[in-house]
Amino acid sequence: MSASRLMIEGIDWEAELEIPPTAGDLAAPEDFGDKAWDYLTGITERRGITTPWKNFDFRFQPGTFNIVMGQSGSGKSQVTQQLMLHATRDGASEVPQRALLWSAEMTNEAIVARFVQLAGGIKQPSRDYFNKILDYLAERIWIYKRTDRVTVEELLGIAKFAQRKLGVTMFVIDSLVKIHTPMANSNNLNMVQTDLADKLAIFARDSGMVIILVAHARKGENERQRVDKFSLKGSGGISDMASSLFAMNRNIVKSEIKKGLIGTRTPEQVEQELAKPDAYLENLKNREGGVMDSISLWFNEAGQFVDNPTKTIRIKEIDGIG
């Protein structure tokens, strides 16, 4: 079984970028009646794409642009891949989901290996189980292979192709700083980034896809400073465009202790710190309504973020393959 089945490459993305029609832009409210009803009931009846955690009250709605941010090493890319994998599970949403990932942060081999660990709930699967997991991922998840000087226009062209040909409903972009912006300079960077976010938000709205953008947080005065809604690195207009904004905060003290940096702590204090969560995920903005929740997460051996330190998330459908 080859991981190449998950890869998208050699696409004429420019052919996908058609100029939208200018005629017929005026409409009466009743023209949107059915879609407005679906939107309203989707919110009030708590429809949408769930998350992997039982006690995190959030659902991704179709047609939304969402941001997951955190400082380097906080786990934002990994938790986003986990959200993406969960979205494509049977029963995660009323409508089956298919997802596309573009990541210039990791090699494609590392991305696939991480997906295998997250899906299988195991750090080192056997080759047979590895192949089973790849079979499960096929037709659920794709990876756009090209990473060099990729512009937002190219990403939108690929997203249109993936939606039209593969039925993709979710697009994860990792990360903002890796999107090539040839017209940007020190004087207009904020304007360029705001325009980039605006294009992603408009595409999400018009296509009905869920877009998730991974972004870096500004460095605080020290590593232990909490990432909040004002921490997004770059233009403040980026978060203005988003339907939802999430912050991933790592437990720096616990991370230091795991590295042996105990300092003057007693064994009892060390034990207490090690029992605490590894990270915290917080919803800082929710334009679709509802509670802006937060959750404590532990990092298990399989690379999964879980809501209980003894938990492993397993996908039962994988064991039934072949």
* Cα–Cα distance, 273 to 288 (Å, whole number): 36
Within a domain: residue 156? yes
Interhelix angle 76-87/108-120, rounded to 10 degrees, is 60
User: What CATH number is attached to the domain comprising 276?
Assistant: 3.40.50.300
Within a domain: residue 24? no
Residue that is written with structure tokens 């955690």 in the block: 53
Within a domain: residue 177? yes
How much is the pLDDT for 226?
A: 86
Q: pTM of this prediction?
A: 0.92
What are the strands, taking DSSP E only, across 11-109?
65-70, 99-103
Q: Which pLDDT tens digits describe the chain residue by residue (322 residues)? A: 578 889 999 999 999 997 565 555 677 787 777 766 766 665 565 689 999 998 898 999 999 999 999 999 999 999 999 999 999 999 999 999 999 999 999 999 999 999 999 999 999 999 999 999 999 999 999 999 999 999 999 999 999 999 999 999 999 999 999 999 999 998 898 899 999 999 999 999 999 999 999 999 987 766 677 888 888 988 788 999 999 999 999 999 999 999 999 999 999 999 999 999 999 999 999 998 778 899 999 999 999 999 999 999 999 889 876 5
How much is the pLDDT for 187?
A: 87
Closest-CA residue to 189 (of 154, 244, 243, 238): 238
Q: Are 322 and 132 in contact (CB under 8 A)?
A: yes
Residue 288 is part of which domain span? 3-9+47-308
Within a domain: residue 40? no
Within a domain: residue 300? yes
Within a domain: residue 14? no
* Cα–Cα distance, 293 to 271 (Å, whole number): 28
How much is the pLDDT for 279?
A: 97
Within a domain: residue 186? yes
For 206, the enclosing helix (H) or strand (E) is helix 189-207
- How many structural domains does the chain have? 1
How much is the pLDDT for 38?
A: 65
* Cα–Cα distance, 227 to 239 (Å, whole number): 14
Q: Are 136 and 318 in contact (CB under 8 A)?
A: yes
What are the strands, taking DSSP E only, across the chain?
7-8, 65-70, 99-103, 141-144, 170-174, 210-216, 244-250, 279-286, 294-299, 305-306
Within a domain: residue 20? no
